[in-house]
Structure 1
Amino acid sequence: MKNAVYAQSGGVTAVINASAYGAIVAALESRDIGRVFAGVNGIKGILNEELFDLTDEKRSEIERIPYTPGAVFGSCRTKLEKEEDFERLFKVFDAHSVGYFFYNGGNDSMDTAYKIHRKALEMNFPLRVAGVPKTVDNDLLLTDHCPGYGSAAKFTAISIREATRDLKSMYSDSTKVFIMESMGRHAGWLTASAALAGIDQLQGPQIILLPEVAFNQETFLRRVEEVIKADGYCSIVASEALKGSDGNYLSTAGYYDAFGNIQLGNIGQYLERLVRENLKCKVHVALPDYLQRSSRHIASLIDWQEAIEVGAFAVKEVLRGKSGFMVSIDRTCDRPYLKELKCVDLSQVANGTKPLPEDFISEDGFYVSDSFLSYARPLIQGEAPNLFLHGLPIYENMAKVKVRKRL
């Protein structure tokens, strides 16, 4: 009987551990899987033969996994490139009788999962590989949306809604422009979710700056000035990935990760300086950063439930003999919200990016359309349950016993 390995990769989401829970419980309850391991810090830990054995963990602690933020087993941004990396990886799999591998991540992680699947076929190694999707960026191909997005969208909408209320209270003789920077490396899905703040007609941001729309300084300043004249203040949400007409990022941190992705940042400060120097008004900037992707306490119930489901579905499908796939969410109806889970080929997902469609963007490029609101609204519904003690949330406290190394 073969064993299974689950691992987490890339930036976390508020519900990545819900997917971990779904996959782990399904594997533990299967009669076809021996022991269930978790890679310590993703594929990096597996290469180092660092595995947690979850088989004998207390079930009470397993049950706390989906209530926990971060990545309970650790994550990484390690890229598999060298032949010796693959040789080492499969030696570890062989040494621990691993026949099932579940990789929970985004674009780059799906590329890693695909490479491992392809290598297993080349080597005739008996390994079934499944990609479990997650990303707050919501830009994975061949899926309606990604687990993690709904919760980050909910946080974004609530945060800008509250901050805009604050701004409205103070603008008469203080701050007139508030700018919140949003995550989103290549696509504006998360930035766009700020529009949900005005869902019941209370004012949210008046301007949303998306990476799919080339930034024009003069047009932007003119719009801000118009909004201030009309409302007295201007609330803005801007994507960290804003680009100019030349296609280059407006603001970066100046370094790259292991996958060659430029690290973005400081777009808020860039815009703040632009507004302050040209419009001569007080500006405040907020950078949610990790808070935007890890705020488990206000996670979406729909998102949390779906995250559990995709993890369990991945296990179910590999036990049916499938390999080399990512679990996909196929929406069948907006109202009521209905969906189905399917399998899509990893080769068609790896390293791809899904931008915000044109029909989700307003004609002037400074907001989103009603079509986007209809798309995003179901994904933030409900509040995922939390476990609290003495006023603070409580999380898992597993023993996390490491497997004895054999290599």
Structure 2
Amino acid sequence: MPSASTKGSSRGTLFYAQSGGVTAVINATASAVIQTARSHRVRVLAGRNGILGALNEELIDTSRESAATIAALAHTPGGAFGSCRVKLKSLEADRPKYERMLEVFRAHDVRYFLYNGGNDSADTALKVSQLATEFDYPLTCIGVPKTVDNDLAVTDTCPGFGSAAKYTAVSIREAALDVAAMASTSTKVFVYEAMGRHAGWLAAAAGLAGRGPDQAPHLILFPERTFDEAAFFQQVKAVVERVGYCVVVASEGIQTADGRFVADAGGGKDSFGHTQLGGVASHLAARVKDALGYKVHWTLPDYLQRSARHLASETDLKQAKAVGKAAVEYALKGLNGTMPVIVRTSDAPYRWKIAPAPLSDIANHEKKMPAEFIRDDGYGITDAARRYLEPLIRGEAPPSYGRNGLPKYVELANVLVPARLPPWT
């Protein structure tokens, strides 16, 4: 169990960890964190596989990486240090784990904890800060925003979402051209499955691909609206008869009137307690074929939505770097229990800034699509949604390519520092 600590003169070490599903730009945040810390002569240890790195005392020494390698992280997708889906429970229920983390932090003189993730990660960072205060351990905890679902409270948008939104909108526009070319003799309905358990932000982003009722996507299914199969069939039939084909974007989290997920994969719960989803596109495709007799194709982009660094939004990249830089600066200022969030100051021209927000206002809160963003008929987005979404996918930031035609992504050595504590189980 951690004991009371005497605050010394050492500036200490910064511990950074990535959490949950990664994004096309989470490594850009990591790059900014390390570069900013180096400019202040602060050592950075990264958790191997996220928070598990702290529990298992598997700490990556980022000082072993060159400045050029760290800079190249900004153009590399995935999670450079490894991530994990591990949700710590309350301080009472999981107290040994929290205390183990403090023991590891004490052993390596960690004074700053930066946790890069979503709602659950913000909650973990908040709890760790509370426990450190209880034991009088000098630790500043900062949550760093990241999620393609765009469902974090307080922040205007989440780093990672803009790039996934751009991938979604571009993919729908391109696929729709393909479907249109083949519709007279082949595919009449195309179903695209977008990520989004309870919030339909990514599905909404697909709406940027076209304007008007005759441009794809013709129908968007949001988790914020109850799914009515019979009404859906009527909409599909009407679009096919009017346009010649129908492009559907369905959020993975759509539910029936009785609260059942249409895409319940039957795989139980994940480590966050969420129902394992998957297959809404294939399900809808089969039902449309059976009910209406159309030839249907469907796609499940899944990880492609969050890993497509080649199609990243420049806006998203800039914001991912900005929150990383601000997170270090907030930590060094002692802004404990804080997250750097994105504040929109203007729609036209689009302007934004970074500001601190209390983790207590963010942890375990979920930002859903506002009602005014969903069209009255429930199957599309409004002009208000376009004003919000469009700036987030603006600009291109492609990685450099090698002579082999592939992007030049970087791989880290990820050298661990020697353990100083007995193994933990």
Same fold per TM (> 0.5)? yes
- What is aligned with 1:56? 64
- Asked if structure 2 preserves the Cα contact closer than 8 Å seen for 1:147 and 1:307, the reply is yes
TM-score for the superposition, normalised by structure 1: 0.97
Pairs within 5 Å for 1:181-260 = 181-198=193-210, 203-254=215-266, 255-260=268-273
Q: Which deviates more, 291-300 or 77-86?
A: 77-86
Q: Percent identity?
A: 51
**Is this contact kept in 2: 1:41–1:75, CA < 8 A?**
yes
Q: Any idea what the Cα deviations from partners look like across 1:297-339, whole Å, max 9, x if unmatched?
A: 0100000011000000011111112110111111010111111
TM-score, structure 2 normalization: 0.93
* Counterpart check, 1:394 vs 2:408: yes
Q: Which SS does the other structure have where 1:205 is aligned?
A: coil
Q: Which amino acid aligns with 1:54?
A: T
How far off its partner does 1:118 sit?
1.4
Cα–Cα, structure 1 residues 36 and 285, in superposed 2: closer, same or farther, change >3 Å?
Answer: same
Any idea what the Cα deviations from partners look like across 1:332-354, whole Å, max 9, x if unmatched?
10111111111111112111111
Answering whether residue 8 of structure 2 is matched by residue 5 of structure 1, we say no
Which residue of the partner structure matches residue 300 of structure 1?
313
Residue from 373, 376, 384 that aligns with 2:397 = 384
Q: Is the 8 A contact 2:315 2:394 kept in 1?
A: yes
Aligned to 2:6: none
Aligned equivalent of 1:75: 83
Name the residue aligned to 1:89: 101
Q: Which runs of 5+ in 2 are unaligned?
A: 1-9
1:204 & 1:230 partners in 2: Cα distance?
Answer: 13
**Counterpart amino acid of residue 303 in structure 1:** D
SS in 2 for 1:42: coil
CA–CA separation in structure 1 for the residues paired with 2:414 and 2:281: 40
Checking the alignment, whether the CA contact within 8 Å between 2:400 and 2:407 is kept in structure 1 is yes
Q: 2:331 aligns with which of 286, 296, 318?
A: 318
Q: Which residue of 2 aligns with 1:270?
A: 283
Q: Which residue of 2 aligns with 1:126?
A: 138
CA distance in 2, matches of 1:170, 1:57: 50
> Partner of 1:18 in structure 2?
28
- Look up the equivalent residue of 1:65 and give its one-letter code: L
CA contact (8 A) 2:148 2:158 kept: yes
1:28 and 2:38 are equivalent in the alignment: yes
Equivalent residue number for residue 363 of structure 1: 376
Cα displacement (A) at 1:387: 1.9
Residue type matched to 1:66 in 2? A
1:85-131 Cα distance to aligned partner (Å, 9 max, x none): 01111110000000001000011111111111111112211100101
Give the residue type in structure 2 aligned to 1:56: R
Matched residues in 2 for 1:176 and 1:193: separation? Answer: 23
Partner AA of 2:254 in structure 1: L
Q: Determine the C-alpha separation between the residues in 2 that align with 1:47 and 1:174.
A: 54
**1-side partners of 2:123 and 2:265: how far apart?**
25
CA distance in 1 between partners of 2:314 and 2:120 (Å) = 26
The answer to whether structure 1 residue 136 and structure 2 residue 148 are counterparts is: yes
Q: Deviations over 1:244-278 (max 9, x none)?
A: 11222112122211121111111011111211111
Match of 2:4 in 1: none
Name the stretch that deviates more: 146-155 or 113-122: 113-122
Q: CA deviation at 1:200?
A: 10
Give the secondary structure class of the aligned counterpart of 1:340.
strand
Q: By how many angstroms is 1:398 displaced?
A: 2.6
Q: Distance in 2 between matches of 1:373 and 1:244?
A: 27
2: CA distance between counterparts of 1:343 and 1:55?
28
Greater shift, 258-267 or 392-401, is seen at 392-401
The one-letter code matched in structure 2 to 1:403 is: V
Aligned to 1:405: 419
**How many angstroms apart in 2 are the aligned matches of 1:201 and 1:304?**
32
Q: Secondary structure at the match of 2:127?
A: helix
Distance 1:200 1:310, change over 3 A: farther
Pick the aligned partner of 1:169 from 162, 181, 194: 181
**TM-aligned CA deviation for residue 289 of structure 1:** 0.2
Residues matched between the structures, number: 405
CA positional deviation for 1:157: 0.3
- 1:221 Cα offset (Å): 0.5
